[in-house]
């Protein structure tokens, strides 16, 4: 155990693209825990696009981050001290905790992670929040049927690559949209996507036409903006648009305008449903079970992009908006 605790606080609210200046590191003593609490040493920290929204200062489904207060996010860590009857020193746990070397928790919403089941980092990715997001969004809202065409934007991200693989397991024709040849090669060759469009270099409209000869039945949207405008033109009658996020808009300082598409939704009877994974909290056990099973059977692969050092978490976060990560972006804060 170290003898000090570094914490990353929100120094200022970003306007537009976040920069390193929006973050500050403070160093404090390792906190003392009280009866009923646990002290967790961070091993992996998750950086997630949705956190950008919390930096804006507007209340949505979660409270905004406060300037001058520590950032919080998904953490996998080890219990180094426990005064809580359900947890023991040495337990590996996952939860929403501080962007810090150490966090204190009363154990609520802290999930134990079995290190023998899968690498513990997967508790933040394929068998964690992003995996569940893919699982419930695709299966509960998208409801893909065998032979249908599923298009995924942000396909090489932590959520997108799980969506594509589950869609393949369900017998769908799976088309991804991603932003580099490395990502495309991985999705096609390793994960079995039927086609992947490079939104930076391909003529997206023509590429969609070629890749989706029968139109699109499910669109799992992580990016929004102009890519989605194009995808929507190919949606079939009775198709479903799963709105998971719109990372292309997160750094806009005001709401962007785009072509109105309500007419399209009416004439083609299209469903568009926004969701957040916590809507499914009562069914998480089912999701964890299926995801872990598919991982153990080799049916669900995953990839991680890991940066070392808590001090590099802001960079890892900013990189998300440049699409640098393939799969889950993690920060390794200490060794297992």
The CB-of-90 to a copy of itself minimum distance in angstroms stands at 38
Please return the burial class of 284, using the count of CB atoms within 10 Å of its CB with bins 0-12, 13-18 and 19+: middle
Residue of 73, 74, 95, 224 interacting with a copy of itself (CB under 8 A): 224
221 binds a copy of itself (CB under 8 A): yes
The tokens for 161 are 């690559």
Q: Does 63 bind a copy of itself (CB under 8 A)?
A: no
The yes or no reply on residue 260 touching a copy of itself (CB under 8 A) is yes
**Distance in angstroms (rounded) separating the CA atoms of residues 7 and 284:** 30
**53 contributes a contact to a copy of itself by CB under 8 A:** yes
Nearest residue (CB) to a copy of itself, 100 versus 231: 231
Is residue 308 a contact point for a copy of itself (CB under 8 A)?
A: no
Q: Which contacts (CB < 8 Å, 24+ apart) does range 277-285 have?
A: 277/129, 277/132, 277/133, 277/136, 277/137, 278/61, 279/136, 280/132, 280/136, 280/140, 283/136, 284/132
Query: Please, what is the minimum distance in Å from the beta carbon of residue 148 to a copy of itself?
Result: 18
Spatial distance between the Cα atoms of 96 and 257, rounded to a whole number of angstroms: 34
Per-residue binding string, a copy of itself, 264-283, x by CB under 8 A, is xxxxxxxxxxxxx--x----
Q: Which is nearer to a copy of itself, 108 or 260 (CB)?
A: 260
70 in contact with a copy of itself (CB under 8 A) = no
Choice from 48, 246, 290, 304 touching a copy of itself (CB under 8 A): 246
- Pairing status of strand 216-221 against strand 235-243: parallel
Q: What does the chain come to in residues?
A: 336
Using DSSP, state whether 242 is helix, strand or coil.
strand
Report the C-alpha gap between 79 and 99 in whole angstroms.
Answer: 16
Check binding of 140 to a copy of itself (CB under 8 A): no
Q: Does residue 64 belong to the site contacting a copy of itself (CB under 8 A)?
A: no
- The C-alpha atoms of residue 279 and residue 202 are separated, in whole angstroms, by 36
CA 88 to chain centre: 29
**Closest approach of a copy of itself to the CB of residue 255, in Å:** 5
Choice from 12, 96, 198, 249 touching a copy of itself (CB under 8 A): 249
CB closer to a copy of itself, 113 vs 244: 244
Report the nearest approach of a copy of itself to the CB of residue 297 (Å): 32
Q: Which residues contact 299 (CB under 8 A, 6 or more apart)?
A: 165, 169
Pick the closest to residue 327 from 182, 112, 141 (CA basis): 182
State in angstroms the smallest separation of the CB of 1 from a copy of itself.
Answer: 39
Site size toward a copy of itself, by CB under 8 A: 36
Q: Of 134 and 244, which CB lies nearer to a copy of itself in the complex structure? A: 244
2, 30 in Cβ contact below 8 A?
Answer: yes
CA–CA gap between residue 174 and residue 232 (Å, rounded): 16
* Contact between 284 and a copy of itself per CB under 8 A: no
User: Residue 271, by phi and psi: left (phi above 0), alpha (psi -120 to 50) or beta?
Assistant: beta
Closest approach, Cβ 20 to a copy of itself, in A, equals 25
Our CB check for a copy of itself shows the closer of 147 and 259 to be: 259
Q: Which is nearer to a copy of itself, 268 or 301 (CB)?
A: 268
Q: Calculate the CA dihedral of residues 69, 74, 78, 79 and round it to 10 degrees.
A: 60
Smallest separation (angstroms) from a copy of itself to the CB of 268: 7
Stretch that binds a copy of itself, among 19-27, 32-40, 177-185, 255-263 (CB under 8 A): 255-263
Question: Which residues contribute to the site for a copy of itself (CB under 8 A)?
Answer: 53, 60-61, 221, 224-225, 228, 237-238, 243-246, 249, 255-260, 262-276, 279
């Amino acid at each position: 155990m170290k003898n000090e605790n570094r914490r990353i606080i929100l120094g200022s609210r970003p306007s537009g693209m976040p920069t390193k200046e929006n973050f500050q590191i403070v160093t404090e003593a390792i906190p003392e825990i009280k009866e009923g609490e646990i002290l967790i040493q961070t091993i992996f920290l998750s950086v997630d696009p949705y956190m950008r929204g919390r930096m804006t200062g507007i209340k949505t489904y979660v409270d905004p981050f406060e300037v001058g207060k520590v950032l919080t996010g998904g953490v996998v860590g080890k219990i180094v001290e426990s005064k809580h009857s359900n947890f023991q020193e040495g337990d590996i746990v996952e939860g929403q905790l501080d962007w810090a070397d150490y966090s204190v928790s009363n154990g609520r919403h802290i999930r134990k992670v079995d290190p023998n089941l899968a690498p513990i980092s997967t508790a933040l990715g394929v068998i964690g929040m992003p995996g569940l997001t893919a699982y419930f969004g695709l299966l509960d809202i998208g409801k893909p049927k065998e032979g249908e065409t599923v298009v995924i934007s942000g396909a090489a991200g932590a959520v997108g690559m799980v969506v594509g693989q589950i869609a393949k397991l369900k017998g769908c024709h799976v088309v991804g949209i991603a932003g580099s040849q490395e990502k495309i090669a991985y999705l096609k060759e390793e994960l079995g996507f039927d086609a992947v469009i490079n939104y930076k270099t391909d003529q997206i409209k023509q590429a969609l036409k070629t890749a989706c000869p029968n139109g699109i039945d499910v669109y799992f949207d992580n990016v929004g903006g102009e890519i989605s405008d194009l995808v929507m033109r190919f949606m079939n009658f009775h198709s479903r648009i799963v709105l998971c996020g719109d990372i292309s808009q997160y750094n806009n300082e005001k709401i962007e305008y785009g072509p109105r598409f309500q007419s399209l939704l009416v004439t083609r009877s299209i469903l568009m449903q926004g969701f957040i994974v916590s809507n499914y909290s009562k069914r998480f056990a089912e999701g964890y079970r299926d995801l872990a099973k598919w991982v153990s059977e080799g049916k669900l692969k995953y990839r991680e992009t890991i940066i070392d050092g808590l001090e590099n978490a802001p960079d890892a976060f900013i990189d998300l908006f440049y699409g640098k990560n393939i799969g889950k972006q993690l920060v390794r804060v200490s060794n297992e």
